[in-house]
Copies of this chain bind each other. A is one copy, B any other.
Amino acid sequence: MSIHEVARRAKVSIATVSRTINGVSTVTPQLSRRVWRVIEELGYYPNTQARSLVSGRSRIFGLIVSEITNPFFPEIIQGFEDIAVQNNYEILTTSTVHDPKRIALSVRRMIERRVEGVAIVTFGMEEALFDDLKSRKIPLVFIDVGPPLPRISNIRIDYQHGIREAVQHLAALCHERIAFISGPLILKSAMARQRAFIESMEEIGLAVDPNHLIEGDHTMEGGIKALKKILNFPKRPTAVICSNDMTAIGVMRQSYEEGVHIPRDLSLVGFDDIRLAQFMIPPLTSIKMSQTEIARMAFNALLSEVQRDIPSPDGTEYVLRTSLVLRDSTAMAPAGARKKVSVLKKSAE
């Protein structure tokens, strides 16, 4: 039951039991053995609540994700959990399903549980929702593109690198009209990806038709809708880059529906490189953003923040690089639409 019961049966004080369990200070081997035996006999497990009440350390980290049903996130959660186990931490996960109320509630619960830190892996949210955390000086780590905020660590994703690779890859396959399906543009991260796309296109001297920037919503349904739009354009793009893999899956699905063959009629590039990508038909070329790595970085950021007695005035910035993974969903542009230098100018208008 409680430590008192153990103490009573072992005929020692509760202090000795506590010391035995924590292996701290010195306890005679003889006594220690006696105590351990009683603990085993009783199947006694210490009460974490009481423990952390007095120690002031909960050994819990919070993890807030956008929506657990998007396969991108479970990989992160798993990675986070794996490393948490190694470090004797527990995690309290919340899937906010994009509901500000849920986020607020979750933040509140985490504070009430006195979590030692919170990792926020949700692409875009109202930052004000986390003010409570900030004002309580609870270590925070965001996964985003923003500049380091005071006292808040940030894992910046280098979207540019992977996207540039994708654009170059498509250009090398003579694609000229490349569309980009973004996430909801209110999100900073979605905006950043789109900007990276535009910059990469300009860099390489390809024109971006504003019509070819389509706002999606990071879901498969969004991918379906987006492709429908794309197919209605008078000058169809010959390649599409999606800002996440779920969107790309939707695009593939709708292409099948409409008889558009990937990659023969349309080249497709995803983003995130979720595990599923390689099992798609055809296997999806995607821009990798290692979920395991994100999880590892986020956890370590929190851990080092917690272990540091004097918190760093500014948060630390970590950077995660993205890079293209080639598979079978991209191919040479259809013969009729291949890029020729002379065409370039014209199609830019």
Judge if A31 is at the interface, Cβ distance under 8 Å: no
Chain B residues whose CB sits within 8 angstroms of the CB of A78 once the complex forms: 67-69, 95, 97
Residue contact A114 to B47, C-beta cutoff 8 Å: yes
The answer to whether A49 touches B249, judged by C-beta atoms less than 8 angstroms apart, is no
Given A78-B67, A94-B81: A53 and B43 interface contact (C-beta under 8 Å):
no
Determine the residue in chain B with the shortest Cβ distance to A224: B279
Nearest CB on B from A258, distance (A): 12
A91-105 Cβ-contact flags toward B at 8 Å (1 or 0): 011110100001001
Give how many A residues have a beta carbon under 8 Å from the other chain's beta carbons: 50
Q: How many copies does the complex hold?
A: 2
**Contact indicator A279/B220 (Cβ below 8 Å):** yes
Distance to closest chain B CB from A245 (angstroms):
11
Tell me if A48 and B112 are in contact (CB < 8 A).
yes
A279 partner residues in chain B, CB cutoff 8 A: 220, 249-250, 253
Give A28-59 interface residues, CB cut-off 8 Å to B: 43, 45-50, 52-53, 58
Query: A71 near B: Cβ within 8 Å?
Result: yes
Q: Does A230 contact B (CB under 8 A)?
A: no
Residues of A within 8 A of B (CB): 43, 45-50, 52-53, 58, 67-69, 71, 73-75, 77-78, 81, 85, 90, 92-95, 97, 102, 105, 108-109, 111-114, 132, 135, 220, 249-250, 252-253, 256, 275-276, 279-283
| 9 A-B pairs in the complex with CB atoms less than 8 angstroms apart | A43-B132, A48-B112, A49-B49, A49-B53, A49-B58, A49-B114, A85-B102, A90-B113, A256-B281
